Structure 1
């Protein structure tokens, strides 16, 4: 990496480019100290610098987030504060995932991951909200939290000016022969109309762990495409229409049905075909001169189809008259579901005396259609919801009450059911004039019954219920130790309790608590450091006995040290330390992993618009398995990404 940095700097010198000191302090990631919500935003710059191959890999550095596997789209998932993906299901319905507002990856499919069959190259921002506070205007039951992904716009490349921009990216990885090509064409024929098209092809063979063994028996090919258009019109361009579409397909031959497994197990192998598509049409209107009217009307549709065909002779139980009748429907299942959602929302900015309000309120209709599969029941899940969230500010104090009412009607051949829930919470934050702030929140949510439980009448007539309490403090200041430096830190303590549990067999109650730390410091000369850490504890009641909660996250500390030379060169070293974790007499050993990254972006000369990224992941080639993962982590992986904007 040092040699690469020297080479890049030498190339810059050959062009007589001077690397001036950074004018503004800038860390890798901004700590969100101005909100009581536990949220982290991964910007487009970090998305590109991490050179991620999957969506899961974009958020693995966020405190409170742990991946179940993650280096491939198959058999990977996202766990937030002990909820979400686990080694059995890709999602337990307690982590909400949205792409441009569309609900995706939420089905509780057995031995299949979170179903995020989409490519990181399509996105410019990922927001992770931990806990329920901050989620009520987007959905219900987000007890662990939510992940919001936003696709790129043409104006991100054209700068809002008329004309064409073409951005071509090629990525290579040494571990598993990784290859990716992403082509983006952005066109603004006028200032009011912008169009974007993207095609990405990504492939990977079986990766090796630090011991030289295969992480899994299979690789993948993942072609993706996306189009996005936005048109502004009317007085002061107050009206806007935005259409976004993205599609990803995957074809796998003779691969383990159990996508969490490292190799073929008792389930045998399948030929699996995956189709994933999201569409969103959004209309917005910002009334000129009227802060009370900021209307958005959004309709989204997310469709996923996963077809599996059993490969004859691959299961040891194929000849068993007792076991095979229950396995055969599973490995030959065709899963097909469509989630359509319409949201009407308005934002009003106004004052009542000394109080300033930012009020968002609206109505949402959700329709989920899931076809009958040989392994799971199908039906129709209809929901209507009303929500309101108000940020009320008085001096340094901000109060945010939130409420959501949701009514559900389920229609199926297994019976019809009706449920409803009233949810909400209150957040408070007080900011002192010295950069300090304190905050807290209390929230209550319900996870309404799901179609996958249609064969259990008891589960269909009651919801899972949870509350979360948070307390924390933050500090944000420039000029702390020297002129031009910047420091930010945020510490959050949370307690979550879940009862009336239906997602886990025999479990009636789950109690979790933990601490999350985010910090950053940067100097005017370009040095920076980022710190992210998680400590968590969990208990559950299973069959009347108290136990450690199996999916409590391992304690983790991540530290990044880096140096920037203006916008041209960025070198960083990331250290990720996971503490030892023991569950049911099985010990997951502690691990310390080192990742090195370099980004070079010439700002002038013949190489202007050209970007080079080098990454060395797991530089020590450590052989380890993260807690909750069902496969070993990949070993050393050298990544090279070349990007040119024309």
Structure 2
């Protein structure tokens, strides 16, 4: 039986934190700490390091945690990540992530290293099934020093499952069959995975398929939100290892979601006169080929990745012949290398450097327009070229503890153009960053970072054209067929400049192994951040006063720029955003407790008003459970508590706080006749609470009974 009492050595160590000299604290228990397991981040530095050691905030969610959520969408897993949320509403078709209050083009999304550049006002942009995801990483805070334009809020990176994740030593093949159901939208799921590798491990291959069918969503308010969707997700991967130094790999993933919902499916919207019911076809195709070359040399650890991704949403309006489509294709090539240099006993220096080229191409279609173009969706392209350099210097020689210094800088050049436009948008930017961490003892981390980020104007913002909306001319007497109508038109803006941010962050963390019992582990990491974001891009909508009242003293009503009836993206605001984030995790053989806390504040620097669409309530999330029967059974509960949300300019947008609890049970025998089976049972929102996350009046899903069953086996 494992020891349950607080170990005397641990008590001594905790007391030593307040009293002992630093060099004594460093030496004490260093061996135990070095042996403990930890989560690894690749995205935060492009060089694998423990997530705890990164001088900033990065969350790594592995497959085991994702499976415990038994999620219908990956959005549900983001409960485990502070400062990151989705603001779309109950329907999955509008999934749109934000990090530290910044969303849209201010968040980069990667799938197996391939950029996902599709951004739409209401079509969502997160097209991946949770069954495909092996690891989810979220880097919070500006990351332009490594990833260039768009990382003002941060980076979301998913890595899909590979054969090596499933095959144990000595196994040649692997098979998994899975099914599931949830009551809140009558969703049924079925899926299969197969993997194989050669006896000498020189090649492996994986195939996966998941199908979901779901209907209308039962809300906590008692209402039912109309929805109807079918999702098919597939994945194929192959890896070749012709030598110990070379690995070649290729993959193709497809996400296909066919749904029937309003043209704008976000929030609590339902179909009506101003929001047509459409048959929506959302799709994502992502393919990549890569090379890793890692010979027996500290100077070379090279990755070369070429990729292609195509994201699109087609909407067929029910009852009419209108078809509207938006599609974005991305071609990219990235090369990076790591060179490691020893600089003394216990000290090290790693350089990470490389370059990137990618091109986004967008096409829009609307069969209701004379030329087939779609308003607000120009046929356009943007090209980016970037180069980056980062150093990771760790010093221990002659120091009371360990200091890590991570400076980095990236240069980007970009150029955007659109069909039919006489101007282009082009510029270049430097994005520096500096992170510093200090460990006076192996268990204690103090860190801080400073960074600058930028986001280039998107082609939708720079070259917006076509009809934005149609309004009646109320100043004129109605004719025999009713009032006359005029149109508000999008117009481009060649004067747009990139959004830019400057951010500071400081924090601390602790990381203990064998704290209470042998084999347990506690980590805690918290920080405060402050960001100044300049030249925020927003839509300036102008409607002539003459459209509402006839007067010789005001311009008359009409269509387009001649009458001032336009919508144009402009640099309209500077923002000040600050917040606190914390993550913690305790795990032992029989008990675990993990959770996070986040809060955010933000104002318009010019007006002092709250930043609409940026702020959210303070949120505390806890996930705790027991491991029984040597880990074969886990029973747990998740609790989310949010404060009242009153940082609003319009009192009608204030929301009450909420408390929501989930229960779940996992049965996964490791031995015996049921080995290979896994049963997940759970109830989300067990109190059937009526609560609002997105905005006032948008109720979230009510009580949801969930079940999943899978069988897997390696041969």
TM category, shorter = 0.7 to 0.9
Q: 1:340 & 1:160 partners in 2: Cα distance?
A: 37
The residue aligned with 1:519 is 584
Say whether 1:479 aligns with 2:479.
Answer: no
Q: 1:219 & 1:25 partners in 2: Cα distance?
A: 47
1:74 match: secondary structure: helix
- Cα 1:238–1:630, aligned 2, differ >3 Å: closer, same or farther? farther
Q: For the Cα contact (< 8 Å) 2:221–2:699, is it kept in 1?
A: no
Alignment deviations for residues 378-430 of structure 1 (CA, whole Å, 9 cap, x no partner): 21111100011211100210000111100012232213232111102000000
Q: 1:207 & 1:442 partners in 2: Cα distance?
A: 43
The residue aligned with 2:288 is 280
Q: 2:302 & 2:395 partners in 1: Cα distance?
A: 25
Q: For the Cα contact (< 8 Å) 1:512–1:536, is it kept in 2?
A: yes
- Cα 1:50–1:377, aligned 2, differ >3 Å: closer, same or farther? same
Q: 1:631 & 1:470 partners in 2: Cα distance?
A: 33
The residue aligned with 2:444 is 436
**Equivalent of 2:435 in 427, 431, 435:** 427
Alignment deviations for residues 479-538 of structure 1 (CA, whole Å, 9 cap, x no partner): 3345544221111100111111114547411111000011122345x1221121001111
Unaligned runs of 5+ in 2: 1-34, 42-49, 366-373, 397-401, 465-490, 541-569
Say whether 1:593 aligns with 2:657.
Answer: no
**Equivalent of 1:611 in 671, 674, 678:** 678
Q: 1:629 & 1:426 partners in 2: Cα distance?
A: 40
Q: 1:185 & 1:522 partners in 2: Cα distance?
A: 31
Q: How many residues align?
A: 589
**Equivalent of 2:623 in 560, 570, 574:** 560
Q: 1:345 & 1:157 partners in 2: Cα distance?
A: 28
The residue aligned with 1:48 is 67
1:60 match: secondary structure: helix
Unaligned runs of 5+ in 1: 1-23, 85-90, 314-327
RMSD: 2.3
- Cα 1:559–1:246, aligned 2, differ >3 Å: closer, same or farther? same
Q: For the Cα contact (< 8 Å) 1:225–1:246, is it kept in 2?
A: yes
- Cα 1:26–1:431, aligned 2, differ >3 Å: closer, same or farther? closer
Q: 1:485 & 1:61 partners in 2: Cα distance?
A: 20
Q: CA deviation at 1:457?
A: 5.2
The residue aligned with 1:509 is 574
Say whether 1:410 aligns with 2:410.
Answer: no
Q: 1:466 & 1:549 partners in 2: Cα distance?
A: 15
Q: 1:390 & 1:239 partners in 2: Cα distance?
A: 25
Q: 2:127 & 2:137 partners in 1: Cα distance?
A: 18
Q: For the Cα contact (< 8 Å) 1:29–1:42, is it kept in 2?
A: no
Q: CA deviation at 1:459?
A: 5.4
Q: TM-score, normalised by structure 1?
A: 0.87
Q: TM-score, normalised by structure 2?
A: 0.79
Q: 1:210 & 1:245 partners in 2: Cα distance?
A: 38
Say whether 1:362 aligns with 2:354.
Answer: yes
Q: CA deviation at 1:589?
A: 1.0
The residue aligned with 1:111 is 122
The residue aligned with 1:270 is 278
1:411 match: secondary structure: strand
- Cα 1:409–1:243, aligned 2, differ >3 Å: closer, same or farther? same
Say whether 1:384 aligns with 2:390.
Answer: no
Say whether 1:207 aligns with 2:199.
Answer: no
Alignment deviations for residues 606-626 of structure 1 (CA, whole Å, 9 cap, x no partner): 101111111211011101111
The residue aligned with 2:163 is 154
Q: 1:102 & 1:419 partners in 2: Cα distance?
A: 23
Q: 2:113 & 2:495 partners in 1: Cα distance?
A: 27
Q: 1:37 & 1:140 partners in 2: Cα distance?
A: 19
Q: 1:459 & 1:351 partners in 2: Cα distance?
A: 50
2:119 match: secondary structure: coil
Q: Which has the larger radius of gyration?
A: 2
2:147 match: secondary structure: coil
Q: CA deviation at 1:344?
A: 0.9
Structure 1 stretches (4+) deviating beyond 6 angstroms? 24-31
**Equivalent of 1:451 in 443, 453, 459:** 459
The residue aligned with 1:259 is 265
The residue aligned with 1:87 is none
Map 1:53-452 → 2, pairs under 5 A:
53-69=72-88, 71-84=90-103, 91=104, 93-104=105-116, 106-114=117-125, 116-133=126-143, 136-190=145-199, 191-214=201-224, 216-234=225-243, 237-253=244-260, 255-262=261-268, 263-265=270-272, 266-288=274-296, 290-312=297-319, 332-353=323-344, 355-373=347-365, 374-375=374-375, 376-395=377-396, 396-413=402-419, 414=421, 415-433=423-441, 435-452=443-460
**Equivalent of 1:575 in 632, 636, 639:** 639
